[in-house]
Amino acid sequence: MSNKTHFGFKEVETHEKTIKVEEVFYSVAPEYDFMNDVMSFGMHRLWKRILIELAGLTNNSKVLDIASGTADIPKLISKKFQSASIHVTDINPSMLMLGRDRAINENFYQNCTFALVSGEKLPYKDNAFDLITVGFGLRNFTNKRAGLKEMKRALKPGGVLLVLEFSKPNNSFFSKLYDWYSFDIIPKLGEIFVNDSKSYQYLAESIRMHPDQEELKKMILDSGFKECKFYNLINGVVAIHRAVK
């Protein structure tokens, strides 16, 4: 079996990818929320709200959010479903601490539990969750297939997986515009606002290397999910995959 994978456009050893992704998120953590708003013109907030609408949650739901970062998704769930139990997780301590601090400061920690967890090896029992969410996290996994299989294992039968991720624009004009924005503008914004163009170059490259809508759907179904449907947002720049165990 090959021990190689991609870190952006570069081919690297699998163990190197995990370290490099960790370095990226250590570097971007302090300004993560600010840069998300700048780069997406605030639109990521709407995409996350749409994600929650697709979840079919109730107040009794048990939820696992993987790659939580600064806890945008747990915050939305917690505000709407105050008795849902939400596991807020990330592989990176600096990102997870930002999420935890924010939950305390913005008063949504009551129904949240915080844990340092890799989405590729979940420390939870089989059939534990009603819903698993991953927002802009799967792209950074070293082994996406291992992660998806773990998510399937940890979901209850009939449980729902929601993956929000950058994807492939569905028309050529938009695709060109998006390429220009990703490779010419995003690294410059990183340079101007946070003096870090390298991390934002990785962001652009990792988006291009991520499976497109149909490929990701196939990967999800190959991991054992019964059904999978995707929703394209802003012409497929971003997609939400909704799968059922």
Contact positions vs ligand SAM (CB under 6 A): 21, 25, 66-69, 72-73, 90-92, 95, 118-120, 135-137, 140-141
Q: Which residues contact 4 (CB under 8 A, 6 or more apart)?
A: 11, 12, 13, 14
Distance CA 83, CA 186 (A): 39
Distance CA 75, CA 59 (A): 14
Nearer to ligand SAM, 91 or 112 (CB): 91
- To the nearest whole angstrom, how small is the minimum distance from the Cβ of residue 142 to ligand SAM? 6
The residue sitting closest to ligand SAM, measured at its beta carbon, is 69
- To the nearest whole angstrom, how small is the minimum distance from the Cβ of residue 36 to ligand SAM? 6
Q: SS3 breakdown of the chain: % helix, strand, coil, rounded to 5?
A: 50, 25, 25
Beta-bridge partners for 112: 86
- To the nearest whole angstrom, how small is the minimum distance from the Cβ of residue 172 to ligand SAM? 27
Nearer to ligand SAM, 170 or 199 (CB): 199
- To the nearest whole angstrom, how small is the minimum distance from the Cβ of residue 149 to ligand SAM? 13
Nearer to ligand SAM, 66 or 243 (CB): 66
- To the nearest whole angstrom, how small is the minimum distance from the Cβ of residue 71 to ligand SAM? 8
Nearer to ligand SAM, 69 or 169 (CB): 69
Nearer to ligand SAM, 42 or 158 (CB): 42
Q: In this structure, what is the dihedral angle of CA atoms 25, 26, 28, 31, given to the nearest 10 degrees?
A: 130
- Judging by DSSP bridges, how do beta strands 155-166 and 238-244 pair with one another? antiparallel
